[in-house]
Amino acid sequence: MLDPLLFGEIDPPQRLLMGPGPVNAHPRVLRAMSADLLGQFDPEMTAYMNQVMALYRPVFGTQNRWTMLIDGTARAGIEAALVSLVLPGETVLVVNFGRFGLLLQEILTRIGARFETVDAPWGEVVPMDAIRTAALRIRPRVIATVHGDTSTTMAQPLDGIGSIAREVGAFVYVDATATLGGMEIAADRWGADVITGGLQKCLGGPSGTAPITISDAAAEHIFTRRHDEKGIRAAGAVDGPAARIASNYFDLAMIMDYWSEKRLNHHTEATTMLYGARECARIALAEGLPARFARHKAAGAAMSAGLRAMGLTLFGEDAHRMTNVTGVYIPAGVDGESVRAMMREAFEIEIGTAFGPLVGKVWRLGAMGYNAMKHKVLLTLAALEATLQAHGHAVPLGEAVPAALAAWDATV
Amino acid sequence: MLDPLLFGEIDPPQRLLMGPGPVNAHPRVLRAMSADLLGQFDPEMTAYMNQVMALYRPVFGTQNRWTMLIDGTARAGIEAALVSLVLPGETVLVVNFGRFGLLLQEILTRIGARFETVDAPWGEVVPMDAIRTAALRIRPRVIATVHGDTSTTMAQPLDGIGSIAREVGAFVYVDATATLGGMEIAADRWGADVITGGLQKCLGGPSGTAPITISDAAAEHIFTRRHDEKGIRAAGAVDGPAARIASNYFDLAMIMDYWSEKRLNHHTEATTMLYGARECARIALAEGLPARFARHKAAGAAMSAGLRAMGLTLFGEDAHRMTNVTGVYIPAGVDGESVRAMMREAFEIEIGTAFGPLVGKVWRLGAMGYNAMKHKVLLTLAALEATLQAHGHAVPLGEAVPAALAAWDATV
């Protein structure tokens, strides 16, 4: 047994996290999180909550009033969206092109919804006309999709998905965990009703709170399921006509009321995480979203060019590559886990392994948020080159860094 | 519309939070949370996870292997426990003596469980023989109770509840959100199978992660519902025989596998909150749990004595008062919200309002975690005395502080 009294102060190694996330947080975010706490209904606290709502609207590309945080990791946001939007027995069309499309299906099964999928092989995306054909056939309540699926490093184009949804009377749900703050999220232009994200990827913060935006139409639908819990229910409160949401914690009707001027006492907001989320968005908006997206694009282009200059083969379609994470085949004869271990132990750099069909075949290299920087991409490539060399893999020496530098400079 | 670019740096007022929680975090906790992040499967990260397990065993008074964190606020822990333990249609006996007993009922209704209650009026607790009588009659799957219910400031005695549960073949669930780290939690001695808590009360940290402990018997039961999600399911994985847990996020079978040497990739652990939880427990164990409980007891006794010396009447039974939060009747003719506003604006001290039947009738004054300190109790009492005087309420002047000081000294 470990003796708890022997554990020292927190003192993690200063590691560069160049995998698919989490990545290193921006130091300003961690400093903001060290501010002292406030009572949850203190006027300064509710002012910070309102500021968070305002800060995340541009981040999501929306005017939606209901733009806030779900207290939990990114998948808390996903589950809150689905359990609140979809009633048991209703059908959802899932756009499925990777592990996180499978997660959507898993959550839907657990909440008693039905689903059908429109699929692409891992490494590709689903054509919009295939989504439309499926939607016309299935007439789903919700079309649910991932934006960027880190398991395959592909980003699903979403322009036009809203008009398909309007055509069949569906809502659109988008999981933008891996792209929010790094690639353009355009809730209003896409016509997406609910989008959720996380801090630990392109926003450069820690995992633990999930930004969400909800269209007025989706909010109206969710409020038909309104049921204020016992203990805080106002006298004469009236339930909505539709079935109660099967989760109390993820009840978006109550959570919206908590973030409204009603200040319904649902949970105790995770204040420190809220401070962090606020700072993530302030940093992103101060940089400017177009500049931020360009920086991620340059980082992805540099990483791709450097890997190719090493003679490695990228995974997946070039046309739909996420800018912030790149999949690359592990060369034949190289032990992928041994390379990752040497990267970590000799260089204090983490690169990612893979899931499902790609386990042992692909590494995933991220450059996102605070780590989507030229020097971090170059250092990672230089370390990988040296590590492959040390593993006896013939790699053209001195090619990766200049190729990456050229690609960066050509992109920005 | 608020202009997001106008928001400045985070800069909350330095307020003393003497309500029912959240309270001010211990500065060491906030500093620990500013450490840089780690990859979720980096050996240093999994070592920190194992340390957290070891640190929270004594905090919960248990040897339970499965002692860990649920990423979310305290009610995330409650919902994870209930949705994983209780199958739809099963019956739970709820020990109901305040708002958070109502919350247990609310969650059970939403997950499709049945429940019966054994009740006490607000301000009292439920006698153990009433629990036994009800359990023998109902034969529930789970006996669920709150330990300290901040809505009433009462602490339910729990010695003996385990043997009642064994007699009828039930599990015991305890919500210890408001007492963990401040009053003794004795999972093993009580015979409680699952206990959950939060950081933002007696542990002196921010809301946002929920410590949980699970007995081997409860874990075995939960694993009968095992269903690894699509996308990370090992080839040949076998589902448990019992019904799948209705939530993916709160699936304790997957969460236990994530915290085990299997390191199943469920969510991305909220690293910064984990650093904070680790520091909360380190501080508590370094102080020594008996000393910590005595400090909370002294703070509660001092607060009670001071309030009584002001001529105020406490709410609820003396015999079952929580040590860390005290309810007091608002004197006739005094505007309770005006007093709270002056306490906040003139003294930067927050005291709490109340819920449900006690709204407008009772204030709740907390002294917990980093705020269960002599000087903070004395300052709060002195400020309240001056505030009542300013409100034209005849209060014996100069009585509260010496009475509190005497009570503190008599207790420790």
Name which of A382, A308, A373 is nearest A347 in CA terms: A382
Does the pLDDT of residue B51 top 70, yes or no?
A: yes
pLDDT of residue A230: 83
Query: How big is chain B, counted in residues?
Result: 412
Does B254 share its domain with B306? no
Does B75 share its domain with B176? yes
> Shortest Cα distance from B185 to chain A (angstroms)?
17
Over the stretch B242-257, which tens digit does the pLDDT of each residue have? Answer: 999 999 999 999 999 9
B27-61 burial, b if ≥16 CB within 10 A, otherwise e?
ebbbbbbbbbbbbbebeebbebbebbbbbbbbbbb
The count of domains in chain B is 2
Question: A138: Cβ–Cβ under 8 A, 6 or more apart, which residues?
Answer: A91, A93, A116
Q: Tell if the CB–CB gap between A32 and B9 is shorter than 8 Å.
A: yes
Q: Which of A383-387, B17-21, B236-240 has the lowest mean pLDDT?
A: B236-240
Q: Tell if the CB–CB gap between B73 and A269 is shorter than 8 Å.
A: yes
Over the stretch A185-228, which tens digit does the pLDDT of each residue have? Answer: 999 999 999 999 999 999 999 999 999 999 999 999 999 999 99
Average pLDDT, chain A: 97
Of chain B residues 97-156, which have a CB less than 8 A from chain A?
A: 98-100, 102-103, 105-107, 109-112, 151
Q: Tell if the CB–CB gap between B248 and A79 is shorter than 8 Å.
A: yes
Burial of B360 (0-12, 13-18, 19+ CB in 10 A): exposed
Does A105 share its domain with A207? yes
- Give the CA dihedral B45, B47, B48, B54, nearest 10 degrees: 150
What number of other Cβ atoms are within 10 A of residue A175's Cβ?
A: 29
> Shortest Cα distance from A244 to chain B (angstroms)?
7
> Shortest Cα distance from A281 to chain B (angstroms)?
9
Across the range B22-45, mean pLDDT stands at: 97
Helices (H), B151-288: 161-168, 187-190, 216-223, 252-259, 271-287
Phi, psi dihedrals of residue A312, rounded to the nearest 5°: -90, 160
* Facing B4 at nearest CB: one of A22, A246, A285: A285
Contacts of A50 in chain B (CB under 8 A): 2
Contact (CB, 8 A) for A40 and B23: no
Does B307 share its domain with B318? yes
CA A232 to chain centre: 33
Q: Tell if the CB–CB gap between B270 and A273 is shorter than 8 Å.
A: yes
Q: Tell if the CB–CB gap between A231 and B79 is shorter than 8 Å.
A: no
In a domain, B139, yes or no: yes
pLDDT of residue B232: 83
Least CA distance to A15: which residue of chain B? B38
Burial of A398 (0-12, 13-18, 19+ CB in 10 A): exposed
Any chain A CB within 8 A of the CB of B86? no
Q: Which of A240, A264, A285 is the last residue of a domain?
A: A285
In a domain, B310, yes or no: yes
CA B294 to chain centre: 18
Across the range A352-367, mean pLDDT stands at: 95
What is the residue type of B137?
Answer: R
In a domain, A17, yes or no: no
**Residue A328 to residue A366: CA distance in whole angstroms:** 11
pLDDT of residue B308: 98
Over the stretch A279-294, which tens digit does the pLDDT of each residue have? Answer: 999 999 999 999 999 9
In a domain, B136, yes or no: yes
**Residue A37 to residue A40: CA distance in whole angstroms:** 9
CA B388 to chain centre: 30
Across the range A51-76, mean pLDDT stands at: 98
Of chain B residues 25-84, which have a CB less than 8 A from chain A?
A: 25, 30-40, 42, 44-45, 48, 50-51, 54-55, 57-58, 71-76, 79, 83
Does the pLDDT of residue B2 top 80, yes or no?
A: no
For every residue of A177-214, DSSP letters joined together read TTTBTTB---HHHHT-SEEE--SSSTT-S-SSEEEEEE
- Which range marks the domain in which residue A271 is found? 27-285
Over the stretch B367-408, which tens digit does the pLDDT of each residue have? Answer: 999 999 999 999 999 999 999 999 999 999 999 999 999 999
Any chain A CB within 8 A of the CB of B390? no
Any chain A CB within 8 A of the CB of B258? no
pLDDT of residue A377: 98
For every residue of B134-149, DSSP letters joined together read HHHHH--SEEEEESEE
Does A183 share its domain with A331? no
Please, how many CA atoms are within 13 Å of residue A214, restricted to the half-sphere of its CB? 26
Q: Tell if the CB–CB gap between A248 and B275 is shorter than 8 Å.
A: no
**Residue B237 to residue B225: CA distance in whole angstroms:** 13
Q: Which residue has the tokens 């008074």?
A: B61
In a domain, B327, yes or no: yes
Over the stretch A384-398, which tens digit does the pLDDT of each residue have? Answer: 999 999 999 999 999
Least CA distance to A83: which residue of chain B? B247
pLDDT of residue A6: 81
In a domain, A9, yes or no: no
Does A277 share its domain with A295? no
Across the range A28-43, mean pLDDT stands at: 96
Across the range A92-119, mean pLDDT stands at: 98
Does B184 share its domain with B102? yes
How are the residues of chain A apportioned to helix, strand and coil, as percentages rounded to the nearest 5?
A: 45, 15, 40
Residue B70 belongs to domain with CATH number:
3.40.640.10
Of chain A residues 185-244, which have a CB less than 8 A from chain B?
A: 198, 200, 206-209, 229-232, 244
**Residue A411 to residue A392: CA distance in whole angstroms:** 33
β partners of residue B67: B213
What number of other Cβ atoms are within 10 A of residue A295's Cβ?
A: 25
Instruction: Give the rounded percent of residues in chain A with a pLDDT score beyond 70.
Output: 100
Q: How confident is the model at residue A232 (pLDDT cuts 50, 70, 90)?
A: confident
pLDDT of residue B315: 98
In a domain, B13, yes or no: no
Q: Tell if the CB–CB gap between B208 and A273 is shorter than 8 Å.
A: yes
Contacts of A275 in chain B (CB under 8 A): 10
Across the range A344-353, mean pLDDT stands at: 98
User: How many A-B residue pairs are in contact by the CB < 8 A criterion?
Assistant: 306
Contact (CB, 8 A) for A117 and A105: yes
> Shortest Cα distance from B42 to chain A (angstroms)?
8
pLDDT of residue A4: 80
Does B185 share its domain with B155? yes
Predicted model pTM: 0.97
In a domain, A116, yes or no: yes
Q: Tell if the CB–CB gap between A278 and B32 is shorter than 8 Å.
A: no
Q: Tell if the CB–CB gap between A36 and B30 is shorter than 8 Å.
A: yes
**Residue B265 to residue A21: CA distance in whole angstroms:** 13
Contact (CB, 8 A) for B31 and A78: no
Does A145 share its domain with A232? yes
pLDDT of residue A3: 81
> Shortest Cα distance from A267 to chain B (angstroms)?
7
pLDDT of residue A231: 81
Least CA distance to B201: which residue of chain A? A268
pLDDT of residue A193: 98
Does the pLDDT of residue B10 top 90, yes or no?
A: yes
Average pLDDT, chain B: 97
Q: Which of B258, B285, B312 is the last residue of a domain?
A: B285
> Shortest Cα distance from A92 to chain B (angstroms)?
17
Q: How confident is the model at residue B164 (pLDDT cuts 50, 70, 90)?
A: very high
Contacts of A31 in chain B (CB under 8 A): 34
Does A305 share its domain with A197? no
Q: Which residue has the tokens 């271990």?
A: A341
Does the pLDDT of residue B58 top 90, yes or no?
A: yes
A257 to A66, A194, A219, A265, A329: CA distances (angstroms): 10, 17, 11, 9, 48
Q: Tell if the CB–CB gap between B231 and A103 is shorter than 8 Å.
A: yes
* Facing A71 at nearest CB: one of B57, B208, B268: B208
Contact (CB, 8 A) for B196 and A64: no
Does the pLDDT of residue A236 top 90, yes or no?
A: no
> Shortest Cα distance from A51 to chain B (angstroms)?
7
Residue B398 belongs to domain with CATH number:
3.90.1150.10
Over the stretch A134-179, which tens digit does the pLDDT of each residue have? Answer: 999 999 999 999 999 999 999 999 999 999 999 999 999 999 999 9
Phi, psi dihedrals of residue B266, rounded to the nearest 5°: -90, -90
Least CA distance to A72: which residue of chain B? B72
Contacts of A51 in chain B (CB under 8 A): 2, 4, 7
* Facing A31 at nearest CB: one of B34, B200, B273: B34
Q: How confident is the model at residue B1 (pLDDT cuts 50, 70, 90)?
A: low
Does the pLDDT of residue B52 top 90, yes or no?
A: yes
Q: Which of A253, A285, A317 is the last residue of a domain?
A: A285
Across the range A225-239, mean pLDDT stands at: 88
pLDDT of residue A288: 97
pLDDT of residue A1: 60
What is the residue type of A57?
Answer: R
Contact (CB, 8 A) for B51 and A7: yes
Contacts of B146 in chain A (CB under 8 A): none
Contact (CB, 8 A) for B95 and B288: no
Does A228 share its domain with A306? no
Of chain A residues 310-349, which have a CB less than 8 A from chain B?
A: 344
> Shortest Cα distance from B388 to chain A (angstroms)?
21
**Residue A313 to residue B369: CA distance in whole angstroms:** 55
Does A266 share its domain with A312? no
> Shortest Cα distance from A170 to chain B (angstroms)?
23
Phi, psi dihedrals of residue B96, rounded to the nearest 5°: -120, 110
